[in-house]
Chains A and B, each alone.
Chain A
Amino acid sequence: MSTKNNRILNPEGGRYPFKVSDEYFDNLTARIMAKVDEAEQAEDTYTNESPEKGAKLVSINDSNTRRNKRWLSIVSIAASLAIVATVALKFIPWAGNTAQPTDELVAEYTADDYNEALMTYTMADNMDVYCYLESGDDMGAEDAY
């Protein structure tokens, strides 16, 4: 199929349909070199830029600065820990009560007290307790067989 638009593409190639005046190319080298010089000057200015007169220079790599920073962090950590401990002792009820139960307290609470409390709770009298103990002995004998 050969149509009008298909014939636009010439097998032999074609002419690039743009033009630029010869004057442009005559001056091109000079213009480019001027731009190159300009760029280089700008780069030199940037790399050799000196600080303003009287400006105080602070080096972040200075050893004094590093030492001061270390001390500051140690002091701030210690202060934080002290604050946390104070708050804990003041507001948390069990935090300050670290006393162990004494011997007197342990002695007060004896086995008799426990049995008496248990009998009151189960509403059992002495007779019930004897019956319970006897049946326990019998069961123990049966288990032995």
Chain B
Amino acid sequence: MRKIDEQDILQRFQRPETKRAAFEEMVGAYSRQLYWQIHHLLQNHDDTDDVLQNTFIKAWRGIDGFKGDAALSTWLYRIAYNESITWLKQRRQMASIDDEDFVEQANFAADDYFDGDETEELLMQAVSTLPAKQRQVFCMKYFEDKKYEEISSLVGTSVGALKASYHIAVEKITNFLQLKE
């Protein structure tokens, strides 16, 4: 991830002549990180691509209202998370499924972007059974090796709550794997 000077970016957002260039710089700096964060929730490249674009369109429309109360990355992450949840709900509605806890049976072997073996496929199937928040926390911790403090500043949840979420997620995955034996 490219490092950017948030204060500088925020100042450039204020001026119409520099706003677009500053936004483009922000997209370049955060798009890769956001792509994977959205992918953790949706687990599908095409959906992730669509939601990522929607996220930045929403960010562009809301940039004048962003006063820098939170970090730029946190603000973007929250837009991306909300967009992903909306997308998941729409997907569920299109499938005419009313059950909130419904879990789609992911077929990773047929996904061109999947790059794992059978064991990893099984693990991803277990991850796909988790609720959105737990899935997000588990992926950030397990696959990206992020510190709880880092995740906390990104998602706006306390470290204690994140630890609990991760613990529950690991338990659920373990149970899932035991059932698959």
CB pair A32 B56 closer than 8 Å: yes
Given known A4-B181, A17-B114, contact A25–B31 (CB-CB < 8 A): yes
CB pair B56 A13 closer than 8 Å: no
In B16-75, which residues have CB < 8 Å from any A CB?
20, 23-24, 27-28, 31-32, 35-36, 39, 43, 45, 52-53, 56-57, 60-61
CB pair A6 B56 closer than 8 Å: no
Interface magnitude class on chain B: 35 or more
Q: Smallest Cβ distance from A17 to chain B, in angstroms? A: 3
Chain B residues whose CB sits within 8 angstroms of the CB of A3 once the complex forms: 178, 181
In B123-173, which residues have CB < 8 Å from any A CB?
123-124, 139, 141-145, 170, 173
B83 CB within 8 Å of chain A: no
Which of A34-42, A88-96, A107-115, A133-141 faces chain B?
A34-42
Q: CA–CA, A17 to B115, complex, Å?
A: 5
Number of A interface residues, CB 8 Å?
25
Given known A9-B170, A17-B121, A18-B113, contact A33–B178 (CB-CB < 8 A): no
Residues of A within 8 A of B (CB): 3-6, 8-9, 13-20, 25, 28-29, 31-33, 35-36, 39-40, 43
